[in-house]
Structures are given as C-alpha cells and as structure tokens.
Amino acid sequence: QVQLVESGGGLVQAGDSLRLSCAAAGRTFGSYAMGWFRQAPGKERTFVAAIGRSGTYYVDSVKGRFTISRDNAKNTVYLQMNSLKPEDTAVYYCAADRHPDVYSVSYYSSTEEYDYWGQGTQVTVSS
C-alpha cells in the first residue's frame, strides 16, 4: 500500500513557475514508477509526465516546460512547471505504478496502469 499526498498547487499568472511535490508513505517508493496526470473541469484525466528506472516521459504539450524528478531518499516526486499557460489549469494528480522498468510512454500515459493515486492539487493559471 502506498499513500500519496500532493502539494504545491496555487494561483499564478501566465509565464510563472510552480513546483508540485508528491510525498509517498511506504518503504518501497523506489520500486515504483511515478506519474503526474491532470484533469481540467469537464474533461478526462490526462497524462503529463512519468519517471521510472527506464527514464522520463512527457506529453508533447509540456516538453521543454515541465520537468519530473524524484528523490527516493525523501520518498518524493516533483513536477517543476515553467512558462505556465492558462491551458495548464487543472487538478494535478500523482500516481504510482508497480512497474518501473517499462520502456513505453504509451504504457505510462494510461491511467489504468497505475495502482495508487493521490487526492490532487489545484493549479490555476490566469492570463
């Protein structure tokens, strides 16, 4: 069992930066791949980024602006978001997947592959 708690969301202006954190409770954090997803009002939850032992993966719309990283000693995964745009506005969720060695962005971009989810943190970007 892994409990995930996101933090770091807020209201910012276009062009600003935010860093989201996701703290995991559990002794096997390093054995999970971690993903970030987002869900805008009235829309489906969609993939943003993932990190596993196989590497990092991003949706095209955030490449070059967002960076996912992790600190296994702190059981925490981060999402550094730069040059934020109004279309980045959403609730951001982190998730944990038991398979960190899959070399496939299509695998990590599917919500169905993840075993644990956090409650989400709101990010609002004003124009």
- Which helix (DSSP H) or strand (DSSP E) does residue 31 occupy? none
Q: What share of the chain is helix, strand, coil (3-state, %, to 5)?
A: 15, 50, 35
Q: Are strands 90-97 and 121-126 parallel, antiparallel or unpaired?
A: antiparallel
CA–CA gap between residue 53 and residue 122 (Å, rounded): 28
Tokens 């990190």 identify what position?
51
Give me the residues of the chain with pLDDT under 70, please. Answer: none
Predicted confidence at residue 28, as pLDDT, reads 85
Please check whether residue 81 is in contact with residue 14, taking contact to mean a CB–CB distance below 8 angstroms.
Answer: no
Predicted confidence at residue 102, as pLDDT, reads 87
Predicted confidence at residue 103, as pLDDT, reads 85
Predicted confidence at residue 109, as pLDDT, reads 94
Predicted confidence at residue 1, as pLDDT, reads 83
